[in-house]
């Protein structure tokens, strides 16, 4: 969630599957929504776009990285229910599920530290559906590709068997 302040008003910006949704802080009336959208500080919109571009760029870098290591990329951005699997690949006898985490700086923690338990649970559910849908009989491995990418360059770290899931 991003917050922007302008003319003593606080706005909340929430992201949903359908795109960006704008809402007033509870003390403002919703019927002024269309006028207030025009008052949004453009910097907030640009910050959101740059963040999304960094993530998409990181996913492309991860796909190229895996291809160079001999992985067969089966799917990118596979969506099931509320989950999106960044990369599904085959490597030897493994179906490799890859979550890509890209950051511009490690100052607030390594990219892989931003993978939350709820996200892992959704990821597992999506992969389970994918395996059943495609009738795949391979052992599954969950990897994380952590990327730090900025003006100074990029660093890619591939964490194989990053987490296990047991029911």
- Which helix (H) or strand (E) segment holds residue 143: the answer is strand 139-150
Main-chain phi, psi angles of 10, to 5 degrees: -110, 130
Into how many domains does the chain fold? Answer: 2
Which residues, given as ranges, of the chain have pLDDT below 70?
Answer: 1-52, 111-112, 165-167
First-to-last CA distance in the chain?
A: 32
Q: What length is written for the chain? A: 167
Q: Are residues 33 and 97 in the same domain?
A: no
Question: Measured over all CA atoms, what is the biggest interatomic distance in the chain, rounded to whole angstroms?
Answer: 59
Q: Are residues 102 and 145 in the same domain?
A: yes
Domain, as residue range, for 155? 58-159
Per-residue DSSP letter, 99: E
Name residues whose C-beta falls within 8 Å of residue 31's C-beta, 6 or more positions apart in sequence: none
Task: Give tens-digit pLDDT for 12-28.
Answer: 444 433 344 444 443 33
Task: Give tens-digit pLDDT for 126-144.
Answer: 999 999 999 999 999 999 9
Residue 164 covered by a domain? no
Q: Are residues 78 and 109 in the same domain?
A: yes
Q: Are residues 10 and 81 in the same domain?
A: no
């Amino acid at each position: 969630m991003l917050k922007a302040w302008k003319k003593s008003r606080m706005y909340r910006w929430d992201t949903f599957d359908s795109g960006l949704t704008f809402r007033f802080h509870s003390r403002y009336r919703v019927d002024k929504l269309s006028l207030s959208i025009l008052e949004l500080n453009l910097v907030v919109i640009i910050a959101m776009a740059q963040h999304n571009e960094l993530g998409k760029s990181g996913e492309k870098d991860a796909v190229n990285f895996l291809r160079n290591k001999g992985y067969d990329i089966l799917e990118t951005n596979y969506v099931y229910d509320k989950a999106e699997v960044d990369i599904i690949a085959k490597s030897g006898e493994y179906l490799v599920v890859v979550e890509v985490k890209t950051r511009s700086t490690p100052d607030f923690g390594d990219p892989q530290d931003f993978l939350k338990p709820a996200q892992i649970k959704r990821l597992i559910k999506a992969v389970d559906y994918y395996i059943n849908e495609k009738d795949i009989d391979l052992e599954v491995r969950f990897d994380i590709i952590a990327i730090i990418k900025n003006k100074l360059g990029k660093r890619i770290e591939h964490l194989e068997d990053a987490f296990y899931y047991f029911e």
